[in-house]
Structure 1
Amino acid sequence: MSAAAKNFTFVCGADDFLVDRLGRERFAALAAESGADDFSRDILSGFAANVGEVESAIARFRDAVQTVPMFGGQRVVWLKDINFLADSPTGRADGTLKLVADLQELLTTLNPAETAVLLTAAPIDRRRSFPKWCEKNADFALVGGDGDSAAEALTGVALGEARTLGVKLTPDAAKLLLAKVGSNTRLLVEEVRKLATSIDEGGTIEESLVAELTPNAAEGDFFETAEAFFTGDLPWTLAALERHFFSGGDARPVISSLQNRNRILLQLRALADAGDVRLGPRGADGLSRAAASYTGKFGAAAADKSAYNIFTQNAWYVGKLAPGGKLPPLRRLIDNQQEFINAFEELVQRPREAEDVLREMIVRCLAPAA
Structure 2
Amino acid sequence: MPDAAKPFIFVCGADDFLVNRLGKTRYDELTADVTDEFAREIISGFANNVGEVESAINRFRESVQTVSMFGGKRVVWFKDVNFLADSVTGRAESTLKLVDDLKELLATVDPAQVAIVITAAPIDRRRAFPKWCEKTADFSLVGGGDGEGGSEALGGVILAEARELGVTFGEGAAQLLLAKVGANTRLLIEETRKLATFAGGPDGKATVIEEAHVAELTANTAEGDFFEAAEAFFSGDLKWTLAALHHHFFTGGDARPIISAMQNRNRILIQVRALVDSGEARVGQRGLDGLPKAATAYGHHFIGVTEKSAYNLFSQNAWYVGKLAGSGKLPSLRRLIDNQQDFIRAFEEIVKRPNEQNEVLREMAVRCLSAA
Q: Normalising to structure 2: TM-score of the pair?
A: 0.87
| Aligned-pair CA distance for 1:129 | 0.9
Deviations 1:286-330 (A, max 9, x none): 22232222222333574x543222233344432332476411222
- Identity rate, percent: 68
Do 2:288 and 2:326's aligned partners in 1 also have CA atoms closer than 8 Å?
no
Do structure 1's residue 159 and structure 2's residue 156 form an aligned pair?
Answer: no
Give the corresponding residue for 1:60. 59
Check 1:311–1:209 CA distance in 2 against 1; reply closer, same or farther (3 A cut). farther
Change (3 A) 1:170 1:224: closer
What is the DSSP-based 3-state SS (H/G/I as helix, E as strand, rest coil) of the residue aligned with 1:221?
A: helix
1:58-94 C-alpha deviation (Å, 9 max, x unpaired): 1221222222223331221111111111111111112
1:44 maps to which residue?
Answer: 43
Moved more, 86-95 or 212-221: 212-221
Q: Distance in 2 between matches of 1:234 and 1:204?
A: 33
Residue of structure 1 aligned with 2:274, choices 270, 273, 276? 270
**Aligned residues of 2:228 and 2:244 also touching (Cα < 8 A):** yes
Q: Does 1:89 align with 2:88?
A: yes
Contact between 2:265 and 2:310, CA under 8 Å: does it hold in 1? yes
Name which of structure 1's ranges 199-208 and 74-83 shifts more when overlaid on structure 2: 199-208
Match of 1:180 in 2: 180
What is the CA distance between 1:203 and its match in structure 2?
A: 4.8
For 2:30, the equivalent position in structure 1 comes to 30
Kindly indicate whether the alpha-carbon contact (under 8 Å) linking 1:36 and 1:73 is maintained by their aligned counterparts in 2: no
Letter of the aligned partner of 2:18 in structure 1? L
* 1:226 lines up with 2:225 in the alignment: no
CA distance in 1, matches of 2:80, 2:356: 44
The CA deviation at 1:213 is 5.6
The residue aligned with 1:119 is 118
**What is the match of residue 19 of structure 1?**
19
Aligned to 1:291: 295
What displacement does 1:24 show? 1.1
Distance apart, 1:283 and its partner CA: 0.8
Per the alignment, in what secondary structure is the counterpart of residue 230 of structure 1?
A: helix
Between 1:90-99 and 1:20-29, the stretch displaced more is 90-99
> How far, CA to CA, are the matches of 2:317 and 2:150 in structure 1?
15
2:339 aligned partner = 336
Change beyond 3 A, Cα 1:180–1:122: same
How far, CA to CA, are the matches of 1:66 and 1:26 in structure 2? 21
1:108–1:36: structure 2 CA closer, same or farther, 3 Å change rule?
farther
Q: Equivalents in 2 of 1:323, 1:283: separation in Å?
A: 5
| Length, aligned pairs only | 367
* Structure 1 contact 231–323 (Cα < 8 Å) conserved: no
RMSD, aligned CA: 2.8
TM-score (norm 1): 0.88
Partner Cα distance (1:145, 1:205) in 2: 25
- Runs of at least 5 residues in structure 1 that lack an aligned partner in the other structure: none
Output the CA distance in 1 between the equivalents of 2:109 and 2:266. Answer: 60
Tell me how far 1:244 sits from its aligned partner.
Answer: 2.5
Distance in 2 (alpha carbons) for counterparts of 1:60 and 1:155:
38
Structure 2 spans left out of the alignment, 5+ residues:
none
CA-CA distance at 1:207 after TM superposition: 5.9
Q: Tell me how far 1:240 sits from its aligned partner.
A: 2.3
Give how far 1:206 is off: 6.2
Give the alignment partner of residue 261 of structure 1, picking from 253, 265, 268.
265
SS in 1 for 2:32: helix
Indicate the larger mover: 11-20 or 109-118: 109-118
Separation in structure 1 between the aligned mates of residue 283 and residue 119 of structure 2, nearest angstrom:
47
Deviations 1:141-176 (A, max 9, x none): 100011222233222212322332234447865444
Match of 1:310 in 2: 313
